[in-house]
Amino acid sequence: MHPSRAHLDRRQWLTLAVGALGWPTQALSQTTAKIDGVDVATTTFVRGKKLVLNGAGVRRRGYYKSNIVALYLPERLTTLEAIMKLDGPRRIQMLLLRDFSQSTVSRIFLADFKQAATDSEFKALINEVAEIGAIYNNVKRVEQGDKVNIDWQPGAGIIASLNDRQLNDKPINSELAYQIYLRMFMGPNVPEELRNRLLGLGNG
């Protein structure tokens, strides 16, 4: 054995082997993307279906950064219209950058949801809004570093989780409600930079 290679560990040997095959060695470590210094997974699974990171960006509330928002889809798409028509699971993930109380989270959700929905949609979804409110009532507090997933699972509905702990026992079976969730992060009232990042369009 060459003396300079006598102490190579398994990972180094694997890197050398992959390089010798002509494969990009960076692929070994590209399982996350850095968004504002936070690691965001480039793939995830919803009900056994692999989803890819469509885009991610920072959500601001006034002068402060509240969370990283990431969108996962079965395939990458660049328009909200195409995402809404997608036949498959979807995931909105929020990685918290600061602490929030239960009352603050509930207030933010209700304000954002009502802004993203039309008056008729909001009235039609009043029961679903109450169900979502009950989910937030189960969360006493969220803290910096927490992970919130809002999933759409075809055949089931909306399922929310906090740090991979499911929050609602019964899925909320309303695709319209989930579409409004999507508008909350990519609709016309959302800052252009965040909207474009979630759509994979860069800085905007």
Mean pLDDT for the chain overall:
86
User: Residue 16's pLDDT band (boundaries 50, 70, 90)?
Assistant: very low
Report whether pLDDT(78) > 60: yes
pTM over 0.75: yes
Higher-confidence position of 180 and 19: 180
Between CA 151 and CA 47 the distance in angstroms is 10
- Could you say which of 3.50.70.10, 3.40.50.720, 3.40.640.10, 3.10.20.740 is the CATH number of the domain covering 31-198? 3.50.70.10
Burial class (CB in 10 A: 0-12, 13-18, 19+), 156: middle
Asked if pLDDT for residue 138 goes beyond 70, the answer is: yes
Secondary structure percentages of the chain, helix, strand, coil, to 5: 35, 30, 30
Provide mean pLDDT across the span 54-77: 95
pLDDT at 30: 59
Tens digits of residue pLDDT in 87-128: 899 999 999 999 999 889 989 999 999 999 999 999 999 999
**pLDDT recorded at residue 204:** 45
Reported as a single tens digit per residue, the pLDDT across 145-190 is 999 999 999 989 999 999 999 999 899 999 999 999 999 999 999 9
**What is the per-residue pLDDT for 158?**
96
- What number is the average pLDDT over the span 77-83? 95
Query: Would you list the domain boundaries of the chain?
Result: 1-30, 31-198
DSSP H or E run through 148: strand 147-153
Q: Could you tell me which of 43, 23, 24, 19 has the C-alpha nearest to residue 33?
A: 43
Q: Quote the strand ranges of 10-110, DSSP E.
A: 32-35, 38-41, 43-46, 49-61, 64-73, 90-96, 100-101
Find the farthest-apart pair of alpha carbons in the chain and give their distance in angstroms, rounded.
Answer: 75
